Chains A and B, each alone.
Chain A
Amino acid sequence: MAISTHESVGVGRPGGTPPPGAAVRRRSAWLGQHMGTAALAAVIGYTIGHYVGNSFANGYENVAASGQNDVSNVLALTLAVVGWLLGSGALNYPIAKLVGREPAPETEETGVGRFFRYSLDHKVVAMQYVIAVLLFLFTGGLLAMAVRTELLSPTTHYFGPGTYIALVSEHGTMMMMMATSVITGPIAGWLLPLMIGSRRMAFPRVEAFSLWTFIAGYMVILTALPYGGFPTGWTGYAPLQTQASGGMDSYLVGFIVVGSGMIAAGFNIAVTIINYRAPGMTWSRLPIFVWSLLAVASLLALATPTLATGCLFGILDRTAQTAFFVDEHGGSSFLWENLFWFFGHPEVYIMALPGFGIVGEILPVFTRKPLFGYRVGAAGMLGVALLSFFVWQHHLFQSGINPDMRPLFMLTTELISIPTGFIYLTAMGTLWKSKIRFEVPMLFALALYFNFLLGGISGVYLSDVPVNVTVHGSFFVMAHFHYTIMGGLIFAFFGGLYFWLPKMTGKVMNKKLSLIHFWMMFIFFNATFFPLFIVGLLGQPRRVFEYAQRLQGLNDFSTISAYLLASSFIVFTINFAWSIFIDPKPAPANPWDSLGLEWQVPTPVPYNNFDRIPLILADPYHYGEPVHTPVADLGVPAVALAGAGGGGGGPSGGLGAGAPAVDGEGGASDV
């Protein structure tokens, strides 16, 4: 391993070492580059692109005299994103290197301003991600409320059909974009280096790039609405895509933008896990969450380029008048379906696996038992990742393409339930003869298992070709993937937030509000989506604004539950704002009494995470032993490992047994 365990100045600091003795000149933060300059540059880029596009492609409007010109749309959005990256400072380093200059050294940043800048500190990037992801999630959620409102009545319409389909498409696309990063961004970005004993991600600039493209993608996909929306749903099926008006450009550019961030994140996570593990962090000591991230990283890096390629073809079809997807000119609408779903199915495991990883971390802490079947669980995640590349045509069972291959895709799809079953095996084995503490993160973890059971089993119906004839494209599918993505990933995300926020922010969330949030979210999530299984079976297709009169009761029940589900997020937002910003209460260094390495560092976590690269001694699941095996030698003599039996249980061993627990900066500044 290339990492020295010795203390050496500057090693592993993001951006390299400042020259020794050089006086670091600090300018006022507002003179530097930050979100404001990024937004300004984006607006300038948009204007230039729009002007240039109109100047040479004027007269190629999709709809005559609409003022909408796909060339100018695409150029404007692309240059806006380039401007956003230039203005934020994302490109300073590569440009400086390109012209042969040594870029300015990066120094540790303090103050609130760092959260608005292109930060290279993975902990700052992760907190930026938390806010970005919540913004993305709640925007998509508001659109969902609009969709459910329209479905209150089969005959009375609150929106026109064009607005309705734009809302549906915008909701689906935003949520899918958000879900790719909802855990790999905020939670993994914060935890991964800490969990493997590293001082940083392998490529801090690339991590920040993922974040800033993620925010750019949010804005690009929002521009679809003023462009008139797009009518294709998140799947963007092709002849309709070619036919659609200006909003489609936002979809295509947006997915390329978010996709480049996903590809970057995939490589970054994989390289970090493979190369930045501390000495002693063998593969069999890796936390299960890190295994899930390794699986996800491979999917992000390998599947997303297919989507970006497909979107590029789409853009060319719409601007340069190529015919990749145009049947009558020699293209094929099947091409988009294949390119899209070859990405699209690994994508759904990008959205499932990190959730499994999080509950795998939460369960041992709140059962006081080691994770059961650790190896099987890790193998299961890799197995899911591998198999997910061989199932994409189950989305096309009724499309008429490769009908004789349907049994094969039925087999591969059903095989995925074997490694997914491992996730349940690990959970059920861990619960056995344990001591279960029903803290809020644990409740979210248990809810994931409840929801994902229904989501996963409904997936077996969908994989069965004869039953698929009835359920394909109906609300049954829609309920199925909300049960897996929202019931799985989003529950895991909130469980992870409640679990790690005390470490990330140093503040505790209000427990009563957290419990209200959980129970409202759990009950009304199920009340919203379970009826939709029945609605689908009774013949309601997805994405319709008119449906059979007899289905109104179930739809209304679902809509009202959806409102209450949304209000649970208001509770969360109040709790979050109150507990983190308005009336913060300091959190203990290890409130859940966890053995994980990330809990053994002081709160707030120092800029470099570890003063000395730790020496890993054991995996973090040594619960239930009379003397805890310490997870790592942190090289902090005479300071109790904050985790080993902290909390209320008293010190129960470890390297610093018996010493008083030191919280906060004390431990770090002593050294």
Chain B
Amino acid sequence: MSQAAVISHAAYAEHAEALGFWRKYVFSTDHKTIGKQYLGISLFMAIAGGFTAYAIRWQLAWPAAGIPGLGAITPHAYNSLVTMHGSIMVFWVAMPMLLGAFGNFCIPLMLGADDMAFPRLNMLSVWIFFTSALVLLASFVAPGGAAASGWTAYTPLSDTWTSAVWGQTMWLFAVALEFASFLIGGINFLTTAFTRRCAGMTLWRMPLLVWDEIAASVLFLLSVGPLVAGAVMLLMDRLLGTGFYDPSKGGDPLLWEHLFWFFGHPEVYVVALPGFGIMLEIMPVFARKPIFGYRTIIYSTIVAVGLSLIVWAHHMFVSGMDPRLATPFSVTTILISVPFAIIVFAMIATLWGGSLIFDTPMLFVIGGLASFIVGGVTGIFLGSAASDIYLHGTYFVVAHFHYTLFPVTFFGGYAGIYYWYPKMFGRMMDERLGKLHFWLTFVFFQATFIPLFLAGIGGTPRRVFMPSAYPSFASLQPLQVMATVATIGLIASQIPLVVNFFSSMFRGALAGRNPWRANTLEWTVDSPPPHGNFPDPPVARRWPYDYSVPGAASDWLPQVAETNPPAGIKVQRAS
């Protein structure tokens, strides 16, 4: 077996030599290149998403002033901006960053595989995704403007022809393409994890990031189907004039809400789990301590995946659905905080008593964890029907979900970028710029969303073009202004990242194979790894979290290390 693998590696090397520029960097089947392509697209789309955030916030703070760079906007254009902000950030930033980029880059390397199970399908998925991004961006200039019915595309807003005729249909097509891309990607992740692991890499030795990526893929695969069916029906309604969501034709607009949130709520975990995976992967390295409760974390993840399929109606407490559904969905929603609390406590216990090294990746992990806890705790208020009826549709909800999604997407994603950048590009990122980036981002993030919690508790409704027009909310306007100033600061805080990202490619210190002294398999090969990844097929001889093992020569034992600890020493194990 190893001989065959060596031959195939030689073939890889020869093959890589023969590839021209286009096949090597653009139409590549190499999972590492594809991961970088996803990362590039997601960071580019984050600029578009950030611009919409800026425009929305400016409108809310100074509605009379006109948005610099965009001018005065109509209420319809404001709805478009909100719709596109949500769609872009969830589908075109969070998913490609956390699943596309780190899933593709890390899974084969961490499992000791030469590539994904289906490299050509992988290339197909990134190009479908690229197309979907183009369709979405094109809808901005479509006649009638971009989709304006929210990222949830609630019927009948999305079902009628009154506005955004082209924009809404293009939005549907873009989302359909995006789903196709991530379905192909998810099938690829799952098949790779189950068939391409190197010798010794049992399921219970897989790094937690891989576990989280495949859990997210299973969840996406299971939750997206009914929404695809719903989207087919919506498309039929829009293009053919059927009446699935039209009460005047016997349909029911609530059907869409059920189908959307059956996907939409699990989608939060599709994004959150890989974000957690990145955090869990980085923590032990910078705490120099084994992960706490490896198997418990995995079991909790599986329980969370199962529960997340039966919580969706907590988005619909005030929608007019049967009120008898409120209690069961409150119960499941509060229940799902249990597995997540277990994961969070496992993270804290991993940090407890470690020799923490506060390099940039670790700062983003700890900052992300701290912020996510705020998001999780405020979720309890929205999950129980009684308090949700008051808070529903206010800025409290906006602040809550930004406190969950921003930490996993950006704190988690940035942690991943700073941590794996040396492996991706062979050079270290600048630590001083990185720390500056972290502190500015952390402070401005809190300053943006804490005022929105307060505005929400005060009752300010979201999705309103000009809340200050209502006399009862006029006194809360200073909170909106503060959030807007902080948002502009938050966007400006990303400048150090951009400078760091590009200048480090040329001027960063050479990273070497294992700059962080980490255990997982990707750190045993060159940075960046060659096409085909491993010159010799690796053998995993232990779990990936043997840090500070008593009696060992160094404070880390890579997964390939053969050394046993001296006899008689009890080591904390996975179970």
Q: Do A and B come from one complex?
A: no
